[in-house]
Amino acid sequence: MKPARLLSCLGAPRRRAFLKTSALASAAASLGEFAWPAQGTPAVEGGMPEDVPPAPSWIDRPMRWAQLTLVEDDPAKFDMALWLDYFRRTHADAVCLSAGGCVAYYPTEVPFHHRSAWLGDRDLLGELIAGCRQLGMVVIARTDPHATYDDAQAAHPDWIAVGADGQPRRHWASPEMWVTCGLGPYNFEFMTEVKREIMSRYRVDGIFVNRWEGSGTCYCRHCETGFRAATGRALPRTTSPEDPAYHDHLRWRQARLFALWHRWDEAARKINPDSCVIPNTGGGALSRLDMKRVGELSAMLVADRQARHGLMAPWAIGMNAKEYRAAAGRKPVAGLFSVGVEEAYRWKDSVQSADEIRLWVADLVANGMRPWYSKFAGVLHDPRWLQPVEELYGWCHGAERYLRNEQPLARVGLVYSQQTAQSYGPERTRDRVEDPALGWYQALVEARVPFEMVHDRLMDAGRLAPLKTLVLPNIAALSDAQCAQLGDFVRRGGGLVATYETSLFDESGGARGDFGLKELFGVSFVRRLDGPVRNAYLRLEHETARGHPLLAGLEDAPRIIHGVWQLEVRPTVPFPKPPVTLIPSYPDLPMEKVYVRQPRTDVPQVLLHEVGAGRVAYFPWDVDRTFWEVLSVDHFKLMRNAVAWATNEDPPVTVTGPGVLDVTVWRQKGSMTVHLVNLTNPMMMKGPVRELLPVGEQRVRLRLPEGAQARGVRLLVAGAVPPVRQSAGWLELVVPTVRAHEVVAVDL
Helix, strand, or coil here: 187? helix
Q: How far is the CB of 256 from Zn ion (least distance, A)?
A: 9
Please choose, out of 174-182, 337-345, 388-396, 710-718, the segment that lies near Zn ion by the rule CB under 5 A. Answer: 174-182
Contact 167, 138 (CB under 8 A): no
Q: Which helix (H) or strand (E) holds 338?
A: strand 333-338
Q: How far is the CB of 662 from Zn ion (least distance, A)?
A: 42
Q: What is the DSSP letter of 743?
A: E
Contact 333, 62 (CB under 8 A): no
Per CB under 5 A, the list member of 104, 220, 702, 717 interacting with Zn ion is 220
Q: How far is the CB of 162 from Zn ion (least distance, A)?
A: 6
Comparing CB distances to Zn ion, the nearer of 191 and 389 is: 191
* Residues 176-195: x where in contact with Zn ion by CB under 5 A, - otherwise, as a string: -----x--x-----------
Q: How far is the CB of 264 from Zn ion (least distance, A)?
A: 17
Q: Is 313 one of the binding residues for Zn ion (CB under 5 A)?
A: no
Comparing CB distances to Zn ion, the nearer of 106 and 261 is: 261
Comparing CB distances to Zn ion, the nearer of 166 and 590 is: 166
Looking only at the bridges linking them, the beta strands covering 333-338 and 370-376 are parallel
Comparing CB distances to Zn ion, the nearer of 184 and 335 is: 184
Q: How far is the CB of 222 from Zn ion (least distance, A)?
A: 5
Comparing CB distances to Zn ion, the nearer of 102 and 181 is: 181
Comparing CB distances to Zn ion, the nearer of 63 and 181 is: 181
Written as one letter, the residue type at 326 is A
Q: Is 160 one of the binding residues for Zn ion (CB under 5 A)?
A: no
Euclidean distance between CA atoms 723 and 286, whole angstroms: 45
Q: How far is the CB of 83 from Zn ion (least distance, A)?
A: 37
Comparing CB distances to Zn ion, the nearer of 218 and 276 is: 218
* CA quadruple 280, 286, 289, 292: dihedral sign: positive
With 0-12 CB in 10 A as exposed, 13-18 as middle and 19+ as buried, what is 680?
middle
Comparing CB distances to Zn ion, the nearer of 254 and 673 is: 254
Contact 442, 414 (CB under 8 A): no
Which of 627, 693, 695, 713 lies closest to 655 in space, CA to CA?
695
Instruction: Work out the angle between the directed axes of helices 435-446 and 633-647 (0-180°, nearest 10).
Output: 80
Q: How far is the CB of 236 from Zn ion (least distance, A)?
A: 14
Written as one letter, the residue type at 247 is H
Q: How far is the CB of 261 from Zn ion (least distance, A)?
A: 17
Comparing CB distances to Zn ion, the nearer of 158 and 519 is: 158
Please choose, out of 107-115, 221-229, 390-398, 443-451, the segment that lies near Zn ion by the rule CB under 5 A. Answer: 221-229
Q: Where are the alpha helices (DSSP H) in 282-353?
A: 291-297, 316-328
Euclidean distance between CA atoms 748 and 742, whole angstroms: 19
Q: How far is the CB of 184 from Zn ion (least distance, A)?
A: 5
Comparing CB distances to Zn ion, the nearer of 220 and 638 is: 220
Please choose, out of 212-220, 393-401, 466-474, 702-710, the segment that lies near Zn ion by the rule CB under 5 A. Answer: 212-220
Q: Is 223 one of the binding residues for Zn ion (CB under 5 A)?
A: yes
Q: Is 218 one of the binding residues for Zn ion (CB under 5 A)?
A: yes
Q: How far is the CB of 217 from Zn ion (least distance, A)?
A: 9
Euclidean distance between CA atoms 254 and 248, whole angstroms: 10
Euclidean distance between CA atoms 265 and 604, whole angstroms: 55
Comparing CB distances to Zn ion, the nearer of 145 and 184 is: 184
Beta carbons within 8 Å of 368's beta carbon, 6+ residues apart: 321, 325, 333, 405, 408, 664, 666
Euclidean distance between CA atoms 132 and 205, whole angstroms: 12
Please choose, out of 138-146, 219-227, 394-402, 661-669, the segment that lies near Zn ion by the rule CB under 5 A. Answer: 219-227
Q: How far is the CB of 181 from Zn ion (least distance, A)?
A: 3
Instruction: Work out the angle between the directed axes of helices 124-134 and 80-89 (0-180°, nearest 10).
Output: 30
Q: What is the DSSP letter of 431?
A: I
Comparing CB distances to Zn ion, the nearer of 179 and 716 is: 179
* Residues 279-298: x where in contact with Zn ion by CB under 5 A, - otherwise, as a string: --------------------
Q: What is the DSSP letter of 242?
A: T
| Angle, alpha carbons 30-31-37 (nearest 5°) | 85
Comparing CB distances to Zn ion, the nearer of 184 and 314 is: 184
Helix, strand, or coil here: 358? helix
Which of 297, 288, 300 lies closest to 254 in space, CA to CA?
288
Considering only residues 359-378, where is the footprint of Zn ion by CB under 5 A? none
Q: How far is the CB of 254 from Zn ion (least distance, A)?
A: 15
Q: Where are the alpha helices (DSSP H) in 458-541?
A: 461-464, 480-491, 518-521
Q: How far is the CB of 203 from Zn ion (least distance, A)?
A: 32
Comparing CB distances to Zn ion, the nearer of 159 and 525 is: 159
Find out whether the peptide bond into 576 is cis, omega within 30 degrees of 0. no
Three-state secondary structure readout of 35-81: CCCCCCCHHHCCCCCCCCCCCCCCCCCCCCEEEEECCCCHHHHCCHH
Q: Is 145 one of the binding residues for Zn ion (CB under 5 A)?
A: no
| Angle, alpha carbons 90-338-170 (nearest 5°) | 135
Q: How far is the CB of 290 from Zn ion (least distance, A)?
A: 21
Q: How far is the CB of 198 from Zn ion (least distance, A)?
A: 24
Beta bridge partners of 207: 141, 277
Euclidean distance between CA atoms 250 and 264, whole angstroms: 21
Euclidean distance between CA atoms 488 and 480, whole angstroms: 12
* Residues 248-277: x where in contact with Zn ion by CB under 5 A, - otherwise, as a string: ------------------------------
Please choose, out of 100-108, 175-183, 225-233, 712-720, the segment that lies near Zn ion by the rule CB under 5 A. Answer: 175-183
Please choose, out of 129-137, 191-199, 220-228, 378-386, the segment that lies near Zn ion by the rule CB under 5 A. Answer: 220-228
Find out whether the peptide bond into 590 is cis, omega within 30 degrees of 0. yes
Q: How far is the CB of 85 from Zn ion (least distance, A)?
A: 44
Comparing CB distances to Zn ion, the nearer of 213 and 506 is: 213
Please choose, out of 216-224, 313-321, 482-490, 502-510, the segment that lies near Zn ion by the rule CB under 5 A. Answer: 216-224
Which of 702, 689, 696, 713 lies closest to 360 in space, CA to CA?
689
Total of residues contacting Zn ion (CB under 5 A):
5
Please choose, out of 92-100, 214-222, 265-273, 308-316, the segment that lies near Zn ion by the rule CB under 5 A. Answer: 214-222
Q: How far is the CB of 178 from Zn ion (least distance, A)?
A: 12
Comparing CB distances to Zn ion, the nearer of 179 and 660 is: 179
Euclidean distance between CA atoms 62 and 136, whole angstroms: 11
Comparing CB distances to Zn ion, the nearer of 260 and 313 is: 260
- The CA distances from residue 365 to 393, 395, 396, 676, 694, in Å, are 11, 11, 9, 11, 19
Q: How far is the CB of 159 from Zn ion (least distance, A)?
A: 9
Comparing CB distances to Zn ion, the nearer of 185 and 722 is: 185
Contact 222, 142 (CB under 8 A): no
Helix, strand, or coil here: 239? coil
Chain contacts with Zn ion (rule: CB under 5 A): 181, 184, 218, 220, 223
